A and B are shown apart, each in its own frame.
Chain A
Amino acid sequence: MTSTVDGAPVVLKLERITKRFGALTANDDVSLDLHRGEILALLGENGAGKTTLMNILFGHYVADEGTVAVAGTNGTLKELEPGSPHAALNAGIGMVHQHFTLAENLTALENILLGTEPLSSFSSARGKARKHLGDLMQRSGLTVDLNARISSLSVGEKQRVEILKALYRDARVLVLDEPTAVLTPQESDTLFATLKKLASDGLGIIFISHKLDEVLAASDRIGVLRGGRKVADQPTAGCDKRQLAELMVGKSVPESTRTPQQPGAALLVLSQVTTGTGRDALHAVDLELLSGEILGIAGVSGNGQGTLAKVISGLEAPISGTVSLNGKQLTRSSARGMIDAGIARIPEDRHRDGIVGPMSVAENLAIETIRKPENQRFGFLRFDAIAARAKEAITAYDIRCQGGNAPARLLSGGNIQKIVLARTLDSDPIVVLAAQPSRGLDVGATADVHRRLLEARSRGAGVILISEDLDELMRLSDRIAVIHRGHLSSAERTENLDRGTLGMRMAGHSEEQAA
């Protein structure tokens, strides 16, 4: 596959891009070529500078040094005006962000046309646009109902609208930021098939990812960024997973694996739990978590796993059904109540729910236990004790920071997650709820999270692992249940499941599959 690309003209040339944020060099002398008809995967850990590079390309940031050049319609490279998304769009660069930039209350057609129509002659152009889009859909295989409101579309369909939007603007270069993060495995396969088709029609495609499997499966060439520098740029053929992982991290990463272990008694039991209304609400959810097991919850984002986490975190009370721990019903549904009952909660959005950014690392480590005697006396904080325990936790959990007094917001995502792990796991909880615990984390930090969860398991705690990453779920979980539209399937042993089955269930085909 690579050979077909070699001779193709360059459509995008990033030359010696350097970008600094204060002391941090986010991109360090990065050069990159993209050829016509090529799929380039940009691989790197979080914080490696992938997104920064793409933001420079798209004009959101201005590079301190270096240039971006794009091929015009006649094929000659022309330097792009820095710092102007408008110029990037005009030069034929289309970007599909991880978080879609669609107006939910407009139709797919309106979203695609948004910003392309002159204010006069509003109605007359629609027919032509519709025809043009029809051609595009037929050629690319990206079919969507143009008249459907965005709010009624699935995530995969929304993504198709985003891609169509870029194609409609005559994109010659398409950039996708973590495109599979929100898709089922089947949807991902469809997406990659589409991308290959688009590439064969001459589109240059860059997709950003940290998932090694899909990078190997779907790209022609792989560029690896590490610490802002480009450490590899090679054809995909001939790459293997282990080698790429090492390139990404700079060292070999031991993968945590689960050792067989006999689960114990039931710890946390949800019985017929139902919450309010909406797509994310739970419907009569039954769940039984055993001691010494990791119970995986698979599902496409937005199918109720967020609500499930809220219920177990004590942030949302079910309108019916019961939650019990060790056979005792938990009546007081509050975060405090759950913490005191011995449930450790790792929130899905660690920046929003996990830390108070402006407060110090030490304060964030103490926040759940601030009223406990070890942290206060007569309502006054015991600074020495808090600082001492922070120092221990920073060492024990290898939190990389400038000390306990540094504001937590300055830490990287992985280190913020370590703060959350340290404060929740340190008290030897009975139950651990880990919601998307490795989302957005790099390989090293992910391995660390996995190790901690497995440690809790071997200690006899029950772990609920909510994740959208099937590889993670299958590697760590003893049993996996699938959540779809608020219904939770019964958990099955991981040995008896495969990706295909799980993918079908995640898309809501459980009955047919089970039959």
Chain B
Amino acid sequence: MIRFEPREPASLSRLILVPVAAAVVALALAAIPMGFAGLNIFKAYGLMATGAFGSLFAFTEMLTRATPLILTGLAAALAFRAKLWNIGAEGQLYAGALAAVAVGTGVIDAPSFVLIPLVVFCGALAGGLVMLGPTLLKTRLGVDEVVTTLLLNFVILLFVQMMLEGPMKDPMGMGWPQSEPILDAAALPKLMARMRIHGGLIIALVAALGVYLLLKRTVWGFEIRAVGENANAARHAGIPVTATFIRVGLISGALAGLAGVGEVAGLKGYLTADLSPGFGYSGIVVAMLAGLNPIGVVVAALFIASIFVGADSMSRATGVSNYLADLIVAMALISVLVSGLFLRFKVRFVGQRHTEGAAK
């Protein structure tokens, strides 16, 4: 029989060790199907590592992939800290991207130092406003935000498709459903010549630091933690619970919106309906892997990004499907969730005793 006994708060070393161990376990578990697929496991992981870290190009590609994941990861982590279950980062990302192309493709003509901040601001605002609806429905009417945010993802994606087929369709786009390109003056600067890595990474890292400071050092952060850990006590102590939820919803949505800005204004240059391969959903995984810690989000996003980029590269070299990356990520998430149990509880194995035989 297995028994769980609560343990004292885990030490910092354990907090770091457990997710790392979980990642290793995930890689080990994923090796099983790789073995069945006939791969040399060490070679395959070697190829993955090379694909993510083997060259300057590989490394910057990995960082480029991590950029939106950091932002959607932060969006989830911040919201989840307040127990506001924002599953809608995907939709908020598209809303941010849509706003970025709406103001960044020629409607306004201004120099870079005006246009870039404007595009970034509008993208963040759009993401925040998308999250405001579900937040208000939750605080006013008690509507479950898991349902509303999740369903809004599809509404927004369909809206984006409508815009791309209609009013925002690029007349020069050869009939493809895509927006006009972002003006050069509105594009986020590249960080390195001939590489795709862009200014969105700086935004993401600053955002991570910002969310960390917000949670740790500010009154708002204090209130967010209090509401998240015990909303009843927070309300009793006079903390504005509703205002805190709205604040968190706006910031969380804005962070996801920034991810969309980075993808269109930093990477792709125009908006298509396949801008995001599920960055919003992966952000939830990132946040969970990170234990909802903003600095941990950066590390977890780098991990997930290197798995994705590495698996792509390995798949090209070996012919094994890059769905393997999803498998590893899923294993990592399960491992981390299980390991969370080990952080909070001591697990003891108690020998089964027989009723009759035990009498001495």
Chain A interface (Cβ within 8 Å of chain B)? Answer: 21-22, 62, 69, 78-79, 81-84, 87, 313-315, 334-336, 338-340, 345, 347, 352-359, 363, 367-368, 370-371, 375-376, 379-381, 383, 407, 410
User: Is the pair A371, B230 in contact by a Cβ cutoff of 8 Å?
Assistant: no
User: Is the pair B9, A359 in contact by a Cβ cutoff of 8 Å?
Assistant: no
Q: How distant is the Cα of A345 from the Cα of B232 in the complex, in angstroms?
A: 14
Q: Hey, which chain A residues are within 8 Å of B222, CB to CB?
A: 363, 367, 370, 381
The verdict on B235 contacting chain A, using a C-beta distance below 8 Å, is: yes
Cross-chain contact of A315 among B6, B236, B354 (Cβ < 8 A): B236
Cross-chain contact of B355 among A81, A336, A363 (Cβ < 8 A): A81
Name which residue of chain A comes closest to B236, CB basis. A353
The verdict on B140 contacting chain A, using a C-beta distance below 8 Å, is: no
User: Is the pair B236, A21 in contact by a Cβ cutoff of 8 Å?
Assistant: no
Q: Hey, which chain A residues are within 8 Å of B316, CB to CB?
A: none
User: Is the pair B218, A381 in contact by a Cβ cutoff of 8 Å?
Assistant: yes
Q: Hey, which chain A residues are within 8 Å of B230, CB to CB?
A: 352, 355-357
Total contacts A to B, CB within 8 angstroms? Answer: 95
Cross-chain contact of B353 among A82, A336, A338 (Cβ < 8 A): A82
Stretch in B109-117, B237-245, B264-272, B281-289 touching the partner: B237-245
- Whether A335 touches B217, Cβ cut-off 8 Å, given contacts A79-B360, A407-B9, is no
A-B pairs with lowest CB-CB distance, top 7: A336-B238, A81-B355, A335-B238, A353-B236, A79-B359, A356-B230, A367-B237
Q: How distant is the Cα of A353 from the Cα of B346 in the complex, in angstroms?
A: 28
Q: How distant is the Cα of A407 from the Cα of B354 in the complex, in angstroms?
A: 40
Q: Hey, which chain B residues are within 8 Å of A383, CB to CB?
A: 217
User: Is the pair B226, A379 in contact by a Cβ cutoff of 8 Å?
Assistant: no
The verdict on B223 contacting chain A, using a C-beta distance below 8 Å, is: yes
In the complex, what's the smallest C-beta–C-beta distance from A54 to chain B, in angstroms?
Answer: 18
Q: How distant is the Cα of A339 from the Cα of B237 in the complex, in angstroms?
A: 8
User: Is the pair B8, A381 in contact by a Cβ cutoff of 8 Å?
Assistant: no
In the complex, what's the smallest C-beta–C-beta distance from B175 to chain A, in angstroms?
Answer: 51
The verdict on B358 contacting chain A, using a C-beta distance below 8 Å, is: yes
User: Is the pair B223, A370 in contact by a Cβ cutoff of 8 Å?
Assistant: yes
Q: Hey, which chain B residues are within 8 Å of A313, CB to CB?
A: 236
User: Is the pair B229, A358 in contact by a Cβ cutoff of 8 Å?
Assistant: yes
The verdict on B1 contacting chain A, using a C-beta distance below 8 Å, is: yes
In the complex, what's the smallest C-beta–C-beta distance from B274 to chain A, in angstroms?
Answer: 40
User: Is the pair B234, A356 in contact by a Cβ cutoff of 8 Å?
Assistant: yes
- Whether A334 touches B1, Cβ cut-off 8 Å, given contacts A356-B226, A359-B226, A363-B222, is no
- Whether A379 touches B219, Cβ cut-off 8 Å, given contacts A62-B350, A79-B359, is yes
- Whether A367 touches B239, Cβ cut-off 8 Å, given contacts A357-B230, A380-B219, is yes
Q: How distant is the Cα of A339 from the Cα of B236 in the complex, in angstroms?
A: 10
> Which chain B residues numbered 85 to 117 have a C-beta less than 8 Å away from chain A?
none
In the complex, what's the smallest C-beta–C-beta distance from A299 to chain B, in angstroms?
Answer: 21
Q: How distant is the Cα of A314 from the Cα of B240 in the complex, in angstroms?
A: 13
User: Is the pair B218, A367 in contact by a Cβ cutoff of 8 Å?
Assistant: no
User: Is the pair A335, B353 in contact by a Cβ cutoff of 8 Å?
Assistant: no
Q: Hey, which chain B residues are within 8 Å of A79, CB to CB?
A: 358-360
The verdict on B233 contacting chain A, using a C-beta distance below 8 Å, is: yes
Which of B3, B7, B232, B354: most chain A Cβ within 10 A? B232
User: Is the pair A336, B236 in contact by a Cβ cutoff of 8 Å?
Assistant: no
Q: How distant is the Cα of A133 from the Cα of B123 in the complex, in angstroms?
A: 71
User: Is the pair A78, B226 in contact by a Cβ cutoff of 8 Å?
Assistant: no
Q: How distant is the Cα of A84 from the Cα of B354 in the complex, in angstroms?
A: 11
Q: List 30 A-B contacts (CB under 8 A).
A: A79-B358, A81-B354, A81-B355, A313-B236, A334-B238, A335-B236, A336-B238, A336-B240, A338-B238, A339-B237, A339-B238, A345-B236, A352-B230, A352-B232, A352-B233, A353-B233, A353-B236, A355-B233, A356-B229, A356-B233, A357-B229, A363-B222, A363-B226, A367-B237, A367-B239, A368-B237, A370-B223, A379-B218, A381-B221, A381-B222
Contact with A along B197-217 (1 / 0, CB 8 A): 000000000000000000001
In the complex, what's the smallest C-beta–C-beta distance from A209 to chain B, in angstroms?
Answer: 27
In the complex, what's the smallest C-beta–C-beta distance from A310 to chain B, in angstroms?
Answer: 10
The verdict on B169 contacting chain A, using a C-beta distance below 8 Å, is: no
Q: How distant is the Cα of A78 from the Cα of B350 in the complex, in angstroms?
A: 21
Cross-chain contact of A380 among B218, B235, B346, B354 (Cβ < 8 A): B218
User: Is the pair B226, A367 in contact by a Cβ cutoff of 8 Å?
Assistant: yes
Beyond contacts A83-B350, A352-B233, A353-B232: 17 other A-B pairs, Cβ-Cβ < 8 A, are A22-B346, A79-B360, A81-B358, A82-B353, A87-B355, A352-B230, A352-B232, A355-B233, A356-B226, A356-B233, A357-B229, A359-B226, A371-B219, A379-B219, A381-B222, A410-B8, A410-B9
The verdict on B220 contacting chain A, using a C-beta distance below 8 Å, is: yes
The verdict on B144 contacting chain A, using a C-beta distance below 8 Å, is: no
Cross-chain contact of B1 among A83, A314, A410 (Cβ < 8 A): A83
The verdict on B65 contacting chain A, using a C-beta distance below 8 Å, is: no
User: Is the pair B237, A335 in contact by a Cβ cutoff of 8 Å?
Assistant: yes
Name which residue of chain B comes closest to A62, CB basis. B350
Which of B8, B236, B350: most chain A Cβ within 10 A? B236
In the complex, what's the smallest C-beta–C-beta distance from A84 to chain B, in angstroms?
Answer: 8
Name which residue of chain B comes closest to A345, CB basis. B236
Q: Hey, which chain B residues are within 8 Å of A359, CB to CB?
A: 225-226, 229
Q: Hey, which chain B residues are within 8 Å of A379, CB to CB?
A: 218-220
Q: How distant is the Cα of A178 from the Cα of B316 in the complex, in angstroms?
A: 69
Q: How distant is the Cα of A78 from the Cα of B3 in the complex, in angstroms?
A: 25
In the complex, what's the smallest C-beta–C-beta distance from B210 to chain A, in angstroms?
Answer: 13
Q: Hey, which chain A residues are within 8 Å of B8, CB to CB?
A: 22, 410
- Whether A354 touches B226, Cβ cut-off 8 Å, given contacts A22-B5, A381-B219, is no
In the complex, what's the smallest C-beta–C-beta distance from A265 to chain B, in angstroms?
Answer: 26
In the complex, what's the smallest C-beta–C-beta distance from B243 to chain A, in angstroms?
Answer: 11
Q: How distant is the Cα of A205 from the Cα of B93 in the complex, in angstroms?
A: 65
Q: How distant is the Cα of A359 from the Cα of B8 in the complex, in angstroms?
A: 14
Q: How distant is the Cα of A22 from the Cα of B8 in the complex, in angstroms?
A: 8
Name which residue of chain A comes closest to B234, CB basis. A356
Q: Hey, which chain B residues are within 8 Å of A371, CB to CB?
A: 219
Q: How distant is the Cα of A335 from the Cα of B234 in the complex, in angstroms?
A: 10
Q: Hey, which chain A residues are within 8 Å of B237, CB to CB?
A: 335, 339, 367-368
Q: How distant is the Cα of A220 from the Cα of B70 in the complex, in angstroms?
A: 67
> Which chain B residues numbered 178 to 196 have a C-beta less than 8 Å away from chain A?
none
> Which chain B residues numbered 1 to 60 have a C-beta less than 8 Å away from chain A?
1, 3, 5-9
Q: Hey, which chain A residues are within 8 Å of B226, CB to CB?
A: 356, 359, 363, 367
Q: How distant is the Cα of A313 from the Cα of B233 in the complex, in angstroms?
A: 12
Q: How distant is the Cα of A314 from the Cα of B237 in the complex, in angstroms?
A: 10
In the complex, what's the smallest C-beta–C-beta distance from A80 to chain B, in angstroms?
Answer: 8
Q: How distant is the Cα of A502 from the Cα of B7 in the complex, in angstroms?
A: 45
Cross-chain contact of A81 among B7, B229, B232, B353 (Cβ < 8 A): B353
Contact with A along B158-175 (1 / 0, CB 8 A): 000000000000000000
User: Is the pair A335, B235 in contact by a Cβ cutoff of 8 Å?
Assistant: yes
> Which chain B residues numbered 331 to 357 have a C-beta less than 8 Å away from chain A?
346, 350, 353-355
